Amino acid sequence: MMARQNNPLAHEPRYELITQVLRNNILSGALPEGLVLLEGPIAALMQTSRIPVQAALRLLSAEGLVHRFDGRGYLVRSAGKDVAPLRRDISDFDLDIPQQVDVALQTRGTWKHFYDEVEEQVASCQVFGEFRIVETELAEYLGVSRTVVRDVLSRLHERGLIRKDGSSHWIAGPLTARTLREKFELRAIIEPAALRLATPFIHYSRIEEIRDRIGADPSLKPEDLEDALMEHCIAQAPNTALVGMIQNNQMLLTSVNRALTSLGLPKDEIALDQYRTLFDLIALHPIDSAAEYLRDHLHIMAAKNLARMKIVAVISEAVGFAPYLNPQ
């Protein structure tokens, strides 16, 4: 077996590896048009949690390779093409999984198999208040040892998602209006700067394709467009420290937004129009104008997110939290 240290993909995010496998097999026809892709079977095949699978499917949706439909999961189909859903287990198909990718997925540290799931749960709970994480309860929930749990919690701590209180208890949240406002203020400073740096490296053809889908594809959500902007534009900036700072700063905001959206809040049509304008500017290459528009867009999004936080007191009782998260 290939040694991990010799595998250039060993440190790639799991969602990127899964996206690569699914994309290649869709384009090759190994996954046929009409096939319904479900998170659970894909996660089982890739031996991972559902969180990186969710991220991979969102990226493929932004690329136009899969689409939402009147049913559970995503449908493999070309844009505008009407196909009947094909419901078969993905393991029935002979997927091409390159050896390097397979080894990278199988040899990640044990804690990495669970990290994405826990990160999503911990991040999304914070808008609802302060929670204590009990190591023994998390270990029981995941079915792993406390050593693995401590590795997961240490990583969450490094990324600023949890902290220790005076009694050395692990604490998540609360996400306050002040914290949210400050995170968006930081976004409005560093993301336009990264967009300017990324100008020579932007995937302009992909931006044009995604722009053309806005309004034409009813399954497209603002979150999908934010992911696309990050992947095809901002993440192309030749400054890894800056891109890493942006990704870490966005993490909590993105998880909270998806948690609220999952409760049934309506799609933000205004945000879709703003992304169409932003992608128009990027595609036409007036990057200074695009960067200024992005800054203004982030200020508007800050106000909207602050408004959304006001509904938390009304809906918090309907939210189901992972059993290891104990409200304080």
**Which range is least confidently modeled, 3-7, 110-114, 204-208?**
3-7
What's at 90, amino acid-wise? I
Among 75-89, 176-190, 269-283, the range of highest mean pLDDT: 176-190
Across residues 74-101, what is the average pLDDT?
Answer: 79
- pTM score, whole prediction: 0.60
Q: Is pLDDT above 60 for 82?
A: yes
CB 258 within 8 A of CB 223: yes
Write out pLDDT tens, residues 250-263. 877 877 776 666 66
Radius of gyration of the chain (CA): 20
Asked if the domains at 4-82+97-106 and 112-175+316-327 fall in one CATH topology, the answer is yes
- Structure confidence at residue 170 (pLDDT): 93
Write out pLDDT tens, residues 107-127. 555 666 778 788 878 887 887
- What is d(CA 315, CA 318) in angstroms, rounded to the nearest whole number? 6
- Structure confidence at residue 80 (pLDDT): 64
- What is d(CA 99, CA 2) in angstroms, rounded to the nearest whole number? 8
Among 99-108, 123-132, 181-190, 197-206, the range of highest mean pLDDT: 181-190
**Which range is least confidently modeled, 12-16, 17-21, 81-85, 108-112?**
108-112
- What is d(CA 119, CA 251) in angstroms, rounded to the nearest whole number? 9
What is 121-135 written as a DSSP string? HHHHHGGG--EEE-H
- Structure confidence at residue 3 (pLDDT): 37
Q: How far is CA 252 from CA 43, 70, 247, 313, in A?
A: 23, 30, 10, 19
Q: What is the dihedral of CA 15, 21, 24, 25, to 10 degrees?
A: -130
CATH of 4-82+97-106 given 2.40.10.340, 1.10.10.10, 3.40.640.10, 3.40.50.300: 1.10.10.10
Furthest-apart CA atoms within the chain: distance in Å:
59
Residue 180 CB neighbours (<10 A): 19
Domain ranges of the chain: 4-82+97-106, 112-175+316-327, 177-313
Pairing assessment for the beta strands 36-37 and 66-68 based on DSSP bridges: unpaired
Q: What is the DSSP letter of 86?
A: B
CA angle 25, 31, 36 (to 5 degrees): 130
Angle between helix axes 269-283 and 204-213 (nearest 10 degrees) is: 150
Residue with tokens 């394709």: 209
- 7 phi-psi bin (left φ>0, alpha ψ -120 to 50, beta other): beta
The domain made up of 112-175+316-327 has a fold known as Arc Repressor Mutant, subunit A (1.10.10)
* Residue 163: strand pairing partners: 171
- Which helix (H) or strand (E) segment holds residue 295: the answer is helix 287-309
Tokens standing for residue 55: 């991220």
- What is d(CA 79, CA 68) in angstroms, rounded to the nearest whole number? 11
CB 247 within 8 A of CB 254: no
Name the CATH architecture for the domain at 177-313: Up-down Bundle (1.20)
Q: Where are the alpha helices (DSSP H) in 3-131?
A: 14-28, 39-46, 50-62, 99-106, 112-125
CA proximity to 79, closest of 203, 212, 273, 276: 212
